[in-house]
Structure 1
Amino acid sequence: MTKVHPNTTAAEIAAADEEWPRAEPPCFGGGSAVVLTVWRKSLIFHGNGFTVFDSKGNLVFRVDNYSSGSRNKIVLMDTAGKPLLTIRRKKLSLGDNWFIYNAEEATNPRFTVKKNASLLHSKALARVTSGASGLNSCIAYNVEGSYSQRSCAVYDEKRRQLAEIKTKESAQGISLGHDVFSLIVEPGLDADFAMAMVILLEQMFGSRGTLLKC
């Protein structure tokens, strides 16, 4: 099997946890697209999660399914386990609605993400609005395509494609399956937000069972 994580081991991740307060968050600079490899697996805990690597094989993001955590909360972390974004299910709402917060905040969400429940627009998966999605909230992003086929994209209000999820092949041209895929992030979109959308698509449309049983 192709090695998904060439430069990272579970022991190294555990050691990085102990260094957390001094660790720096991942930084993606330059004017070109960032290509990440997403592995639907936690390297520390047995069970569902995500481990994300850059083009050089270095760990950049992780989601670990802590059994003691809230059933309605998912935390996106950097290499050392520092919280970058927290995703929380909206309470007492009709439909599948989620908030995205900075770090581990629980107030003043950055975005609201709502699963598309309409059968009239089959390509639409979810829409993202700024803030807490009040009556005057504007749509910030739309997500379209098929997550189950690992073929979908994030568009802004001007229909510019800012992120893409696509299947990944090994150097020999062999498909790595649905558990390993590529996340391509264009300039103008934060890579951590793009990864948060992957987490939410897994919650909304995951075929193997979601990270958290809500």
Structure 2
Amino acid sequence: MAIVGPQFCAPYPIELGIVRKLMTIPDGNFAVTDANGNLLFKVKEPLFSLSDKRVLLDASDTPILTLRENKVSLHDRWQVFRGKSTDQNDLVYTLKRSSMIQILKPKLDIFLAQNKEMKICDFHVKGSWIDRSCTVYAGKSDGPIVAQMHKKHTAQSIILGKSNFSVSVFPNVDFAFIVSLIVILDDINKEDSED
């Protein structure tokens, strides 16, 4: 199930650690590590930009994905592109809320680039930061689970203003894709908490 690339798929479950710093710094506010604590990804946000976009970088600062929100959409619509591109030819997937009115628990539908009609989603996310967990399913309804995120409570979360999460990515599932979904879910949560 390579969505971003086969190098991000493994034939065994992958455990990821996500640290989200509550204050944004120039180097980004997300760090994603493997089970051994090795940095895999970080997320960079432009300090001053008219567009709401983030760039998912690997450990060597190579851009993997650009995540861009459509500010005029009522469904919290995001488009995700390869590398630093925002060209439609480099579109990987589109994400939007399942419905405009959602109370507390966002439900997100993901449509891969080749799914042009966008009638039936390819993946579905349920949960939120507020719930301290979310689940990613293949297909529209509660189909096969491909990843799950849970909050971890640590001393760092209290003292240093960091939120720690663990993510279980199932075998043969693109973990760069899963990380990009969690970054978008975080942004949606921040917007919901500001409303």
Q: TM-score, normalised by structure 2?
A: 0.77
Residue deviations 1:83-116 (CA, integer Å, cap 9, x gap): 1011111364332100111112212311110023
Aligned residues: 183
Contact in 2 for aligned 1:112/1:133 (Cα 8 Å) = no
What's the secondary structure of 1:179's corresponding residue? strand
The answer for unaligned runs of 5 or more in structure 2 is: none
Residue 162 of structure 1 is matched in structure 2 by: 146
Contact 2:65 2:80 in 1 (8 A): yes
Higher relative contact order (CA 8 A, sep 6+): 2
Q: Which residue of 2 aligns with 1:115?
A: 97
Q: Give % identity.
A: 26
Query: 1:95 and 1:207 mapped to 2: Cα distance?
Result: 12
SS in 2 for 1:39: strand
Cα-Cα RMSD = 3.4
| Higher Rg of the two aligned structures | 1
Match of 1:98 among 54, 60, 78: 78
Higher strand content, 1 or 2: 2
1:145 aligns with 2:160: no
With 33-42 and 192-201 compared, the bigger mean Cα shift is at 33-42
Contact 2:98 2:109 in 1 (8 A): yes
Question: Corresponding residue for 1:59?
Answer: 39
Moved more, 61-70 or 149-158: 61-70
Query: Which residue of 2 is the match for residue 5 of structure 1?
Result: none
> CA 1:141 to 1:68, structure 2 compared with 1: closer, same or farther past 3 Å?
same
TM-score (norm 1): 0.71
Pick closer, same or farther for the CA change 1:110–1:199 going to 2, 3 Å. same
The match for 1:128 is: 110
Gaps of 5+ in 1: 1-24
